[in-house]
Amino acid sequence: MTDLVPYTFGESMLPASAGGALPPGQLQGVHFTVTAQISWILEKLEQWFRDRNEVILVAHGSTRQGLGFVILEWEECEVDPLFLAILEHEDIVADYAVYTRTAEV
């Protein structure tokens, strides 16, 4: 599967890949669960999105079944298509969901 998406959580950098613009006050987020240790994934996300002010780490933790989960949101733009492709093809990602919401004022 990595032949289709040449990027994985093993990459030190993730190329900038912008989704489409959303109306002011809209956020698009992704909630995903992983079968691996969440700590190194959080470190990787921090490294990848360090200079991306529109990407917000909303929450992380463990599910009842012991899977790690992460919730990220993109302010006024869609989730990076490349990031979604990574989630789709990574074996350690058990599941993910994308949502859109209006920011609270």
Extents of the domains making up the chain: 26-102
The answer regarding whether domain 26-102 maps to CATH 3.90.650.10 reads no
Tokens at 78, concatenated: 């869609």
So what's the pLDDT on residue 19? 83
Dihedral sign for Cα atoms in the order 15, 48, 1, 33: negative
Give the residue-averaged pLDDT of 48-54.
93
Write out pLDDT tens, residues 10-44. Answer: 888 888 777 899 999 999 999 999 999 999 999 99
Q: Retrieve residue 19's tokens.
A: 């989704």
Name the band, by pLDDT with cuts 50, 70 and 90, for residue 70: very high
pTM score, two decimals?
Answer: 0.90
Q: What is the DSSP string of 35-94?
A: SS-HHHHHHHHHHHHTT-TTEEEEEEEE-TTS-EEEEEEEETBPPPHHHHHHHHH-TTEE
8 Å CB contact between 19 and 79? yes
